[in-house]
Structure formats: structure tokens, C-alpha cells
Structure 1
């Protein structure tokens, strides 16, 4: 009666059950295991674990089985580190394509009166849970990316700029390499907005953002909307000459857009002023010093007539215009 009840329970359990004797031979293999391994119990009974699963010999699961048999230790194998240790499949199509189900594996010592210690391996299909977790992670990543993108222009926003600059500043410190920053301001943009309307103003900013991004060709470079009509560009491992060349290319690119601006005090089309700073950060340096220097250079560019590039030179305590 009890044996029949046990057999009935094992058939209905929605988990894999393997019982292993002290000689590491499989003495029980439930129906769930038959279904998902495509191996009938009759072919498995009495065989050594490593003969049935040669690829798992000395792996984490095998080591856990030995620990249970020899030292009476139970183990719950991390699904993160052991995603699919057993060759088990949700269906025949997955088996044909060698797509294993995601598994949680619990290895437990089994004490039976009158018998030496055995071991129970319980395997649970966690594929759906893993899929849900992945979907949640993907959604979280997408949501985070949205919080780092400027809604109007589609480029990085101020928060993304701050994070990127911090990362690159630390890297420049470690490697003693130059880091350059460009601050960009659209000339007479308030007059543009007032006379052409905010819708045209938004379109203008979007065109400028796209043009600035088109000048950059490295994944580590970043153009961001700093706020309003101000943009900023982070250029890792770029010295003063390189930063000035990129800044001048950006100035010319915006000028070449030929966006009409009849109310500008500089030209008949939209232009930008650019301030550049370069530093090889010392150990105690802060990102604020680089931003302050670029901002000072931008201020000097505006005072010098706009539609130009100015490099901040700390050594000479002044900004050099180009």
C-alpha cells in the first residue's frame, strides 16, 4: 500500500527525482525524468551517474552529490552559475535543437534506516521564471535607457553625460591619459525661438544634435544635450589638438546646415560657439574642474564674436581662440 502510494506520488511530482546509492549508481528515476530526458527508467536503473552523464563528471552537480554521500552535506546549486546542468528538454522540438530547460538543482543526503546513506537530486524547471526575470531585466534596461536619453533630440541627456564623464574621468586618472570636453551653445537661440516659434526651435535643436553626433566616430565619444540650447561632447584619450579639430569640424558642420536665422547677430543662418578644455587628471582632480574650464572657454568664444572655437589654457591663465 505504502509502496504504491509512493510510486503514485513520484508520478505526479512536477520535478525530476533521482536517487543515487553510495556507489554513485542511480536507483530511482521518476517519470518526470523519463519525460524530459527521453531516457526510460529501465535503461537508467543501476548505472553509474557519470556513465549516464559523462559530461557532468567532476562538475558542480557531481561534486555536490559526493558531498551529500560522503559528508552528509546538502547543496542548492545556484541557477545563475548552473543554468542547465542536466540534458533535459521541455519538449521534443527543444531536444532536437539541443535547447535545454533552465533548472534549479537541489542535492540532499538521504538517510534510510538499515541502509547506507543515499542521495536525492531534485530538479525543477525554472524556465518560465528565468524568462520572466529576463523580461523584467530587459524592461528595466529599456526604462533606464529612456531616462538617459533626451526626449527632444534623441541623444544623451544631462544625467547620461554626468555618468559618462565620471567614468571617463576615473579612467583617465588611472591611465594618465588626456580627456577633452567641448561645451557648445547655439548663438542667439532665444531670438530664433522668439521669431520662428518653439516648434521650429525644437526642430533646429534636433538637427544640430544629429549633426554633432555625425562628426563623432568612436563608441567612447559622447555628445549630450546639456540643457536648453547647450550641448556637450566628451572625448576620452583626446589631446588639445585632436579636440580642437573635432570642435572646428562641429562648428563647420552646424554652419553648413544653412538653417535660416535672420535675427542672429553673427550670420544669416544658425551658428554655434564652442569652448574646449583638455586635462590629464591628477589624483585629486574633480570633473567639475574640466567642466568649469570648458565653460570659461565657451564664455570667451561668445565674447570673441561667437561662431568660433576657443581652447581654455590653464597654463597661460587665458583662452586661445581659433
Structure 2
């Protein structure tokens, strides 16, 4: 009965005596190690597993025999300690199965203490966990990307602005924000159709993104036909240069707009705000300044950049 059970269980079982010699090697271990029991019975741990000598598993076996101490080896730190393989192809490739290993002292009547090592194949569970993590990362990524244009969405903008605002506070460095609106976009949609309107936004988003070349700069779709650009460690002059480059880049697309009140092509208006945040400053101050500058750009004829200052708004 015992032999039948040991042969049937889908778990590896190895028993070591007080001298760390193998006294039991069940069928599951035979199958996945490609080593028959009669080739290892009576041999020492270090002889069968020389590469594992003094490793975490060997130490756990020693502790179980010497101090009656049980161990569950961390799967994170010991993913595949034993040379066990799920398939012959894995064995040929040297791809070990993922393992959970439990080392337990074993008391046998009239004999010195033995040690039981139980090995479980957790490859499928690890694979599922990896896929779940990848799916979670993918979902999180998708939740931060605008579905139409492929650039950052409003949520990503809010998170990035908060992060860079705190950095600017800590480092006493300037932070700039550009708010951008597509001129007469409603007229474009009404006359060319929403599909053409979507295509127009995609091209504008790509053109704005091309202007940026620093890792922490971010262009996001703020909402509808409005975009926003976060420029960390950038003063007013630097932000003005970026804004003007973006205005020119969109204009150079030469997307026909026969229903614009400012040009024959699609254009954008931009408002710039720069702030070196003090202790009590809030992101709303920066956003409000850029909004005001954008409003002034529209009132001033559109297809232009306006820089907001604390005391005045100056058109450029």
C-alpha cells in the first residue's frame, strides 16, 4: 500500500538519513530527474547534488537533521533548486521546473532523525501569476493612455503634474505648463466629419510629441481638442521656445481647414505658465495661469503663444 501511494502521489519525496544519505526517492522524482531510484539510494546529498552543496536547500536539510528545524524555502529566492524538468525537451534545454520545497525533520522509531524533502511543481501557478501581473501592468498602462491618440490621458497628466510639482517644490526648480487648444475645431468636425476630426487630433498629438526630447516632459490629451504639456525644470523662456516650436510643428502639417477663422490650415493656440512652487503652492495655480494665457491667445487672434505672468498676460 505504501509503495503504491509513493508511486501515485504527484509530489516529489526524498528522504535523507542522519548522514544525509538518500534512503527514499519516489517515482515522481525519478520521472522528473531522469535518475532511477537504485542509482541514488545510499548516496550522499553532496554526491547526487554537487552544485547544491552548502546552498539554501542543503543548509535547510542540515538544520532539520541537526536542530529539528523545518523550512519552507522561499519560491521567490529559490525558484528551481533541484535539477528537475517537466518534459524531456525542458531537460535538453536546461529549463528547470519551478518548485516549492518543504524540508521537514522526520522521526523514525529506533532510528536517528531523518529528513523529509517534499517538492511540488508550481510552474503553472507561477505562469498564471506572471500572466496576471502582466495583465495588471497592461491594464494600468491602458488606463493612463488616451485611446484615440496614444499619448498620455488626463489621468496620467494629473498624476505626472502632481509628481513633478512636488519635485519642483523640493528642488526649488521652475515647472512650466503649456495648455493647447485646436483653433475652430468644432467647425472642422461639423464640416469634415468626426472621423476626419479624430484623424486630425491623432496627427496633432504626434506632432506635439515630436517636439519633446526629455524623458520627464509629457504631452497629454487634456480633453476633447485640448492638449497639455508638462515641462519640469523649465523656465519661462524655455517653455516659450517649446510652445512656439509646437505651434509651428502643427502648422507645418498643413491640414486643410477651409472653415477656420484664422488660417487655411489647422492651427493651435497655446498658453504658457511657469512657477517655482513655494511651500503652500498648489498645482491649480499653474493650471489656472496656463488657462488664462490660453484664453488670451484665443482673444488675441489664435494661432499664437501667450505667456502668463503674475501681474500681467503678455502676447508673444
TM-score (norm 1): 0.88
Partner Cα distance (2:138, 2:283) in 1 = 28
Give the structure 2 partner of residue 318 of structure 1. 312
Provide the residue aligned with 1:137 in structure 2: 133
Post-superposition shift, 1:175?
Answer: 4.4
Between stretches 174-183 and 94-103, larger displacement belongs to 174-183
CA distance in 2, matches of 1:65, 1:178: 59
3-state DSSP of counterpart to 1:24: coil
With 284-293 and 257-266 compared, the bigger mean Cα shift is at 284-293
Q: Does 1:152 align with 2:148?
A: yes
Structure 2: how far apart are the matches of 1:171 and 1:10? 61
Change (3 A) 1:43 1:319: farther
Cα deviation digits, residues 227-260 of structure 1 (max 9, x gap): 0110112223333333222221111011111122
- Aligned-residue Cα RMSD (Å) equals 2.3
Distance 1:283 1:9, change over 3 A: farther
SS in 2 for 1:82: coil
Residue 109 in 1 paired to residue 98 in 2? no
Q: Which of 31, 35, 45 pairs up with 2:31?
A: 35
Aligned to 1:123: 119
For residue 283 of structure 1, report the CA deviation from its aligned partner: 4.5
Partners of 1:173 and 1:47 in 2: CA distance: 66
Residues 14, 231 of structure 1: alpha-carbon distance in 2 compared, 3 angstrom cutoff = same
Q: Which residue of 2 aligns with 1:204?
A: 200
More off after superposition, 142-151 vs 46-55: 46-55
Aligned with residue 241 of structure 1, among 237, 244, 258:
237
Q: CA deviation at 1:85?
A: 1.8
**Aligned partner (choices 55, 61, 69) of residue 65 of structure 2:** 69
Q: Does 1:251 align with 2:250?
A: no
Structure 1: give runs of 5+ residues left out of the alignment.
none
**Farther off after superposition, 204-213 or 261-270:** 261-270
Counterpart check, 1:221 vs 2:217 = yes
Choose from 160, 183, 190 the match for 1:187.
183
Deviations 1:275-322 (A, max 9, x none): 2233344444433333223223222322332212223334xx233433
Change in Cα spacing, 1:72 to 1:249, as seen in structure 2 (3 Å) is: same
The alignment's TM-score, normalised by the length of structure 2, stands at 0.90
Deviations 1:34-62 (A, max 9, x none): 22122332332233323433333343323
Extract unaligned runs of 5+ from structure 2: none
Q: Secondary structure at the match of 1:80?
A: coil
> C-alpha displacement at 1:91, in angstroms?
1.6
Matched residues in 1 for 2:66 and 2:246: separation?
A: 70
What do the CA deviations read for 1:168-199 (whole angstroms, capped 9, x no partner)?
A: 33344444444332211111222222333322
Residue number among 274, 291, 295 corresponding to 2:291 in the alignment: 295
Number of aligned residues: 316
Task: Name the counterpart of 2:3.
Answer: 7
